[in-house]
Structure 1
Amino acid sequence: MIVEKNTTPVVFAVSDSIGETAELVTRAAMIQFNSGHVEIRRIPYVTDEEYAREVIEEAKEVENCAIVCTIILPEVRHYIINLARENNIPIVDLMGPMMDTLSKITDLKPKLEPGLVHKIDEDYFRKMEAIEFAVKYDDGKDPRGLSRADVVLIGVSRTSKTPLALYLAHKRLKVANLPLVPEVTPPDELFELPPRTVIGLTITPEKLNEIRQERLKALGLSSDASYASPERIQKEIEYAETIMKKIGCPRIDVSNKAVEEIATRILEIIRKGEF
């Protein structure tokens, strides 16, 4: 590395990941001095001794500097710490003491994988995005979401489409769901999807009648409503079957199955490409 002489104090934020933590801790400390006259140079992905040596060589070119490191890999961390001390460069190791302490109180060994924090953060945001997607495109609210979904669930009312969409969202899948009602023609977008992205949820007339009767009871409505009549249920089921056959999508009978069991089957279909 070719570096010009610099009289401004420099803190090297060194990491075997992206270096964000080292920089944030440095900035938090700088606030206590009410001074912006310190340059922070973030140096990420220091994963071997050769690169660590280059960091020290760069630091030696600066008249007034320090190193703050968040290096997980023990051999690289020890190497840069020893080399910095040999060259009288102040160095703060943020991760070593913390991991040593946690190992003592938990009797566990660290994974020693750089970048795990960011993997966890990315996983969290993917999950939140999938949950927001499931809510936004629930119950056919916006057919434009169908083409953006990883999975589209279709079926008559009370076939667990919404709880399944939210359950699968926690598996980082973007799921839209669409009710099939004889009086409402499905959007064109549904028939333009690859069959492998659509899952048809079926149910026996007897089980659907039972579920709908309970639903009416919970709402304080009469059990004589057409919503739960055998004739209405049969009509809806036959209509849904026609749509599913037209699409050519895989189908799952959700009668007497828990959401977790159905979701597991959906994940298997996606993984194996069963369609």
Structure 2
Amino acid sequence: MPPTSHATWFHVHLVSDSTGETLNTLLKATTARFETAKPLEHVASLVRSHVQLDKVLSRIEQAPGLVMYTIVDAGMRRRLEVKCAELQVPAISVLDPLLNAFADYLGLEQTMRAGGQYELDEDYFRRIAAIDYTLAHDDGQMTWDLESADVVLVGVSRTSKTPTCMYLANRGIKAANVPLVPTSEPPGELFTVRHPLVIGLSASPDRLASIRAKRLMGLAAHQDAESYTDEASVRDEVTRAKRLFTQNGWPVIDVTRRSVEETAARILTLLSARRGGTA
């Protein structure tokens, strides 16, 4: 049967005894594989008592649909599964296959603790420190402190330097970014750093020109717009940037058709290789 162009709307209940971020990410990753699938999300996070679960079960009964859950408590899991069986809707414990595989491979018992990944431990404070650093070193700020970075992203305007840095910071990576501006030279500190991995971000000139034009329209700004958005000028910027990357031996990532997540994933791979397997 050929695929239909009409949207397929469906109810999906995300039930978690933690923040529910894992479920939300998995739902987006899964529905992305089904072009017309449009989920109507019912989110229930921090469900840690039977009273809270009662309300969740009531909502599922009122709007039956697929149920995705991450719940540690065995009694609450059982109640949820029984109710879903009665309503004849799927109930999926999304982490069970991974947890069971890890337990079998490692020969260890699972720690039955809700939200264990969000404890205020060393990793948590490392992420907070990375976010603080990244905010303070955005858009060429505090270049005298680039040596403290894990990653320094370099590129012309609108190559997604800032959002990529923020994504990396949320993974605990101290990321700074330095813009390449046609009217000035890059800061000297950029060429003397030893600790951080310096990476050049590039994109096709036509794509950059289009993004810049839309950016200026959104800001209702027109000063210097011609050189900023002219494709020939942008092509010259990109060429000079690539030449700079090559001269310094910096790895280059073309972000033309990459999302921020894909760019960050490539950066993490490069960083892991440089560190010998640990990012």
User: With structure 2 as the length reference, what TM-score do the two structures score?
Assistant: 0.55
User: In the TM superposition, what is the alpha-carbon distance from 1:238 to its structure 2 partner?
Assistant: 1.9
What's the CA shift string for 1:46-82, capped at 9, x where partnerless?
Answer: xxxxxxxxxxxxxxxxxxxxxxxxxxxxxxxxxxxxx
In 1: Cα distance, 2:118 partner to 2:219 partner: 46
User: In the TM superposition, what is the alpha-carbon distance from 1:169 to its structure 2 partner?
Assistant: 0.4
Structure 2: 5+ residue runs without aligned partners? 1-71, 79-95, 97-108
Distance 1:220 1:162, change over 3 A: same
User: In the TM superposition, what is the alpha-carbon distance from 1:103 to its structure 2 partner?
Assistant: 5.0
Amino acid at match of 2:241: A
Q: What corresponds to 1:226 in structure 2?
A: 227
User: In the TM superposition, what is the alpha-carbon distance from 1:196 to its structure 2 partner?
Assistant: 6.8
Q: What corresponds to 2:164 in structure 1?
A: 164
In 1: Cα distance, 2:194 partner to 2:236 partner: 26
User: In the TM superposition, what is the alpha-carbon distance from 1:153 to its structure 2 partner?
Assistant: 0.2
Contact 1:196 1:273 in 2 (8 A): no
Q: Say which SS state the counterpart of residue 200 (structure 2) adopts.
A: strand
State how 1:125-164 maps to structure 2 within 5 Å: 125-164=125-164
Bigger drift between 158-167 and 207-216 goes to 207-216
In 1: Cα distance, 2:202 partner to 2:150 partner: 20
User: In the TM superposition, what is the alpha-carbon distance from 1:132 to its structure 2 partner?
Assistant: 0.9
Aligned length: 172
In 2: Cα distance, 1:135 partner to 1:248 partner: 27
User: In the TM superposition, what is the alpha-carbon distance from 1:227 to its structure 2 partner?
Assistant: 0.9
Q: Say which SS state the counterpart of residue 225 (structure 1) adopts.
A: helix
Is 1:243 the counterpart of 2:244 in the alignment? yes
Query: Alignment RMSD, CA only?
Result: 2.8
Is 1:266 the counterpart of 2:267 in the alignment? yes
Contact 1:154 1:178 in 2 (8 A): yes
In 2: Cα distance, 1:106 partner to 1:145 partner: 50
Structure 1: 5+ residue runs without aligned partners? 1-100
In 1: Cα distance, 2:73 partner to 2:232 partner: 64
What's the CA shift string for 1:80-113, capped at 9, x where partnerless?
Answer: xxxxxxxxxxxxxxxxxxxxx9554456985179
Is 1:206 the counterpart of 2:206 in the alignment? yes
Contact 1:145 1:176 in 2 (8 A): no
In 1: Cα distance, 2:219 partner to 2:157 partner: 15
Contact 1:200 1:251 in 2 (8 A): yes
State how 1:58-207 maps to structure 2 within 5 Å: 102=73, 104-106=75-77, 111=111, 120-194=120-194, 197-207=197-207
User: In the TM superposition, what is the alpha-carbon distance from 1:193 to its structure 2 partner?
Assistant: 2.3
User: In the TM superposition, what is the alpha-carbon distance from 1:215 to its structure 2 partner?
Assistant: 0.6
Distance 1:253 1:155, change over 3 A: same
In 1: Cα distance, 2:274 partner to 2:74 partner: 43
Distance 1:257 1:132, change over 3 A: same
Contact 1:181 1:239 in 2 (8 A): no
Q: Who wins on radius of gyration, i.e. which is larger?
A: 1
User: In the TM superposition, what is the alpha-carbon distance from 1:264 to its structure 2 partner?
Assistant: 0.7
Distance 1:104 1:220, change over 3 A: same
Q: Say which SS state the counterpart of residue 121 (structure 2) adopts.
A: helix
Q: What corresponds to 1:19 in structure 2?
A: none
